[in-house]
Amino acid sequence: FFFFFFFFKQKTAYEMLRSLVGSEMCIRDRYMGLYIAFQIPLPLTTILILFVDVGTDMWPAISFAYEPAELDIMKRKPRNPEKDLLVSRKVLAFAYLQIGIMEGFAGIFAYFAVMADYGFKPMNLFFYGFQKGCDVKTGEYRTYDWTTNDDNRVNVMDFYACRAPDGTLFPDAHRVRKELSDPSHYVPLEDTMDSWSSVSDSHVRYTSEALKYAQTASWMAIVVCQWINLIICKTRSLSIAQQGFSNMPALYGLIFETALAVLIVYVPFLNEPLGTRRLNIKHFGIVVFPFFALIFAYDEIRKYLMHKLSKIEPGKRPVYSWLYRNTLY
């Protein structure tokens, strides 16, 4: 029973991290918070959130059933049934306030990085999710449609210039930032990377197509971070170097997760229904590898200091460090 309790602890920690993608308490709230509070175009769609919950993370989560016991499990004192709960404050703090924050920032960073590569500086995205402008073809004064493919051929810079086809300037054109109304800010479309989308048959730069690429990159960032989440949740107190990686189902789970992500991103007939786009290689997770390394380094250093700062000597009452008492979930 002792082993199974701590196995479920590990699995619960991973599941809590996995739920960051689908739970209304975590990443979706963070993205929706940016969308509502700052009115930026939506960074992640519901369908992509679901594909993490019921797609890429299913096999890795199940693989914890095959995880061998931690090597120091018999050295730990018996659990206190009143304090050592399966879902404790330490588990919640680890999932939501430590690793979860890093993972959330990784997805948001990928979103802004890709949008910047396609002509939208981060600060220019704020308050443009619901900003009104002028359809240069019809002269209609309306809100730009970022969420569907209706406006993927409409140049955002022309739209937010708020000029009618006859050159008339709309009354609130002064609200539009200079970069989005000054033609000198234009970059020739044919000179930019991935300037044409084969899915929508339209330009990517300065159009709503850029958002589809950014959402795909943001989703891929979450998948990449889940790779390292699987690894760090294999042990609660030992380094992964001490424990080793003998759980082959977990390895197969990582391969499955990566293969499924590649299919979702690069198979043409899946792009349209799922709202994904074929990413440039530098956007396929590479943009968030610093966060991947940060999560791994943070957890390994935490585990090292947790033991280093504790005083555990044979025959004496152990004195556990603050890190040990507060971060060993």
What tens digit of pLDDT does each residue of 139-177 get?
Answer: 677 787 787 777 777 777 777 666 555 555 554 444 444
Would you give the distance in Å from CA 110 to the centre of its chain?
Answer: 8
Answer whether 68's CB lies under 8 Å from 6's CB. no
pLDDT for the residue 166: 55
Output the pLDDT for position 187: 45
Q: Are 236 and 10 contacting, i.e. CB atoms less than 8 angstroms apart? A: yes
Could you tell me the two tokens for 309?
């700062």
pLDDT at site 163: 54
Per-residue b or e along 192-215, where b marks 16 or more CB atoms closer than 10 Å to that residue's CB? bebeebebbebbbbbbbbbbbbbb
Prediction pTM value: 0.81
Report in angstroms the alpha-carbon separations of 23 from 16, 18, 30, 50, 255: 9, 9, 10, 10, 25
Instruction: Give me the average pLDDT of each 10-residue run along the chain (329 residues).
Output: 54 47 46 75 85 82 78 70 73 80 88 88 78 72 77 74 55 46 46 62 80 92 87 84 86 92 91 89 82 92 89 78 83
